[in-house]
Every structure is written in structure tokens, then in C-alpha cells.
Amino acid sequence: MKKIKHILITFLILFLSINCSRDKADDSYLYDQDEDCVFGVATCCDIDGRILVKTNTSYIYTNSTSFDYSTMEWEVISGDISIVDGQNTNEATIHFGNNFITGVIRTKTTGIEGSYCENTLEINKL
């Protein structure tokens, strides 16, 4: 009887540990996968953040550049999207409304030395 209890407990622990490890699956597919800018190499700007989002939820997006910037403008091109916070910074909080299905955000970045860069990111409902 003790041996059966031991086997059942071992099986239960093994079963739960396998199921729990599946909960921590790789969610990188939710995020933009392009290469980041390298500071000082060419003129580059890159928006990083989720490309698959839930409606009525806010997420943080960052815009990296290869140069020192003087202005950075976040803009909604399409979709039920609003910029909550972060205008003229490299990090913005973006909100996706109840009617969001798909949309595009853009950054326009002007460098201290006159460089200019635009980048867009297409985002879809999860």
C-alpha cells in the first residue's frame, strides 16, 4: 500500500511539473522581432513592443535610435489606438481600445545634428 501511495505521489508531482512548465511557454511571437539600431552606425530608428495585443489594454513601446535626438513624435496612423503618455520621449504608453482589430503607430525622430528617421509598427489584435 505504501508503495502504491509513493508511486501515485511521484506520478502526480511529475504530471504537475510538466503542466506548469507549459505555462511558461516562450511568448516572443507577441513582440516585434526586427533588429535593434546600433548607436552611431548609419541612421536608424526602431519601435520595439508587442505586435499582438489585447483590446482595452495599455502597453509600453520604446523607440531606439542610432543618434542623439532632439524631438521624438509618436503618432497613430490607424486603428482604435491612443497615446496615453510619453510624447517626445523614447518610451510611450499606448492604449488599444475596445474596437481595436488592427492598426499602425509611427515615430518621427529628429536628431540634434539634423538626422531624421521615421519608423512604423503594424499591430494586430491577439
pLDDT in tens, 82-125: 999 999 999 999 999 999 999 999 999 999 888 899 999 999 99
Please report the pLDDT score of residue 5 as a whole number. Answer: 54
Quick one: which of 108, 105, 106, 104 has its CA closest to 117?
108
15 backbone dihedrals φ, ψ, rounded to 5°? -60, -45
Quick one: which of 119, 120, 113 has its CA closest to 69?
113
Residue 112 contacts residue 89 (beta carbons within 8 Å): no
Question: Does residue 11 carry a pLDDT above 70?
Answer: no
In eight-state DSSP terms, residue 87 is T
Is the residue at 16 inside a domain? Answer: no
Mean pLDDT of all residues in the chain?
83
Percent of the residues in the chain that have a pLDDT greater than 90, as a whole number = 56
Q: What confidence category does residue 21 fall into, taking pLDDT thresholds of 50, 70 and 90?
A: very low
Is the residue at 15 inside a domain? Answer: no
Please report the pLDDT score of residue 82 as a whole number. Answer: 98
Domain count, the chain: 1
Is the residue at 66 inside a domain? Answer: yes
Is the residue at 6 inside a domain? Answer: no
**How far, in Å, CA of 96 to CA of 87, rounded?**
17
Quick one: which of 67, 71, 58 has its CA closest to 123?
58
Is the residue at 22 inside a domain? Answer: no
Is the residue at 12 inside a domain? Answer: no
Say which CATH number the domain at 41 has: 2.60.40.10
- Where in the sequence is the domain holding 101, given as residue range(s)? 28-125
